[in-house]
Amino acid sequence: MLRPLVLLALLSGLAWWLHGEQGRGAFREVDETFLDFLIANTRDRLKPDPAKLGDVVFVRLREEDKKEYAGWPPLPIDYLMVAKGLAAFEPGVLVIADPLTWPEPKPDSLPELAQTLLPIPSVVIGVEASSAGVAPPDTLAFVKDHLPALDRLQGDARMLPGLHQLARLPEPVLVPQRDIGVVTGPPWSMALRYEDHAVPSLVLAALSRATRTPFAHQRLRTGPGAGVHLGAALFVPLADDGSLLPSQIQVPSLNGLELMTATMIEPDSEVAKTLGKGRTMVVGIDNDGPAATAARVQAQAIASALALPRVRVLTLVEQIAAWAVAALLGLGLLRRPKKALGRMLLLLFAALTASYLAFQGAMIWCPPAIPAALIAAAGVFARLLGKRSAAQPCLDPSPTPH
């Protein structure tokens, strides 16, 4: 009875210590490698759910309507009026796909546009990348000061396009407290390489805000199995070079003029039903041509990524329950110490197989490092200190005296 109690106390203390180490980043590579393996075997099933495509709305500033705007490309006053109309619907994230920059003399409505955007909790604005020429000092300073860093790169980072220069910087009055993402041309890379890290595209910056995933919790992989992980819950498949895969989905759209001309939008109107509340709203210049514009590509990419199936990571309480099951299985190894190591390997295989089947069936994932460590520790303990069966008494072969 003493050995099970000692082993139970040992495993409890080990689980507590491993949990603390896990919180400090230990075992991260082990867990993530197993998660990558699971995702690689379900990659073909990662398709956008049509029922969730309504979470993103594309607000089109149509080129065919350019005479209705104050200027073309739209001026700050045009964006201001669109933003006011959208603010009433409390967007979760507002993404402005075109760089907000205008030539001198600067329009007088710029400060008012900045004030209009201020109450919206999450605003992501774009900056245009260019591969021509050498980056001037102000461009490099903008990258370091305003573009977030994506440090966790896996695979060959050289497959990502390098960020050499920014062609159009957003107006300084609009930059503070805004997320910035780089807008590139085809093939629409999810991130660009800069020095020893990567900087996010407009799509990745928008996904970060929409999923509330800090860049420190994201990792980007190139090559085989390419994709970007936003935490453990969302994986967005990419081409081997880190570029977006083609997405020909239909995103709910709205003509920006309807927001600029309406004095009041009825709650039951089609506009209100399209916009909803808490959605990700992408504003950008578009046209009715067959070729997708840059803004339309951004909206489609954001919508398709947010509609992908999510991985359900077990909560801490559920993980503790899994640890308890692993510990109880480990206690059973005390019964036959000589076979403990072999049975330990069988238990590890069974646990990983169960995890694989749970992911295949319902995309449920439990980080395996801690339960596997508990089973392994129990196996070693049982083999070294487990109870041995009593030795059989030896028979004296010598004859008994008569």
Whether the Cβ atoms of residue 376 and residue 341 lie closer than 8 Å to each other? no
The pLDDT of residue 196 is: 84
**Quick one: pLDDT at residue 392?**
44
pLDDT for position 115: 92
Averaged pLDDT for residues 54-67: 93
- Say what percent of the chain tops pLDDT 70: 92
- pLDDT at 388 (0 to 100): 54
Residue the block writes with tokens 């939008």:
265
Question: Would you state the structure tokens that stand for residue 144, as one six-digit string?
Answer: 């370091």
Question: Percent of the chain, pLDDT > 90?
Answer: 53
Among 16-25, 94-103, 136-145, 336-345, which range has the highest average pLDDT? Answer: 94-103
pLDDT exceeds 80 at position 266: no
- What is the pLDDT at residue 402? 45
Q: Which residues of 78-169 form beta strands (DSSP E)?
A: 93-96, 123-130, 153-154, 165-168
Provide the pLDDT for residue 274: 81
Residue 394: band (very low, low, confident or very high) from pLDDT cuts 50, 70, 90: very low
The mean per-residue pLDDT over the stretch 273-302 comes to 91
Identify which has the larger pLDDT, 401 or 316: 316
- Tell me what the mean pLDDT of segment 135-148 comes to: 77
Cα–Cα distances in Å, from 156 out to 14, 35, 222, 343, 360? 37, 20, 6, 40, 28
Q: From 222, 190, 191, 232, select the one nearest 22 (Cα to Cα).
A: 232
- In the predicted structure, residue 238 carries a pLDDT above the cut 80: yes
Structure tokens at 80: 């201001």
Rounded to an integer, what is the distance from CA 284 to the centroid of its chain?
A: 24
pLDDT in tens, 170-199: 899 998 878 899 988 888 999 999 888 899
Q: What is the per-residue pLDDT for 130? A: 77
Q: Between the ranges 132-136, 260-264, 293-297, where is the mean pLDDT highest?
A: 293-297
Residues in CB range of 383: below 8 A, 6 or more apart: 337, 338, 340, 341
Say what the pLDDT of residue 94 is: 95
Is the confidence at residue 371, as pLDDT, over 80? yes
Q: Distance from first CA to last CA of the chain, Å, rounded?
A: 46
At residue 382 the predicted structure's pLDDT band, cuts being 50, 70 and 90, is confident
Is the pLDDT at 389 greater than 70? The verdict is: no
For the record, the structure tokens of 184 come out as: 């590139």
Distance separating alpha carbons of residues 217 and 238, to the nearest angstrom: 18
Provide the token pair at 76: 């700050």
**Alpha helix (H) ranges present in 307-339?**
316-331
- 340 or 219, which is more confident: 219
Residue predicted with more confidence, 204 or 143? 204
Dihedral class, residue 9 (left if φ above 0, else alpha if ψ from -120 to 50, else beta): alpha
State which H helix or E strand residue 285 sits in: strand 280-286
Residue 129 has what pLDDT? 84
pTM score: 0.87
Q: Residues 362-366: what's their mean pLDDT?
A: 93
Report the distance separating Cα 185 and Cα 75, nearest Å.
23
User: For 329-346, what is each residue's pLDDT tens digit?
Assistant: 988 888 888 888 899 999
Residue by residue, DSSP assigns 71-96 as: SSSPPHHHHHHHHHHHHTT--SEEEE
For 86-131, write each residue's pLDDT tens digit: 888 889 999 999 999 998 889 999 999 999 998 898 999 999 887 6
Name beta bridge partners: 93: 280
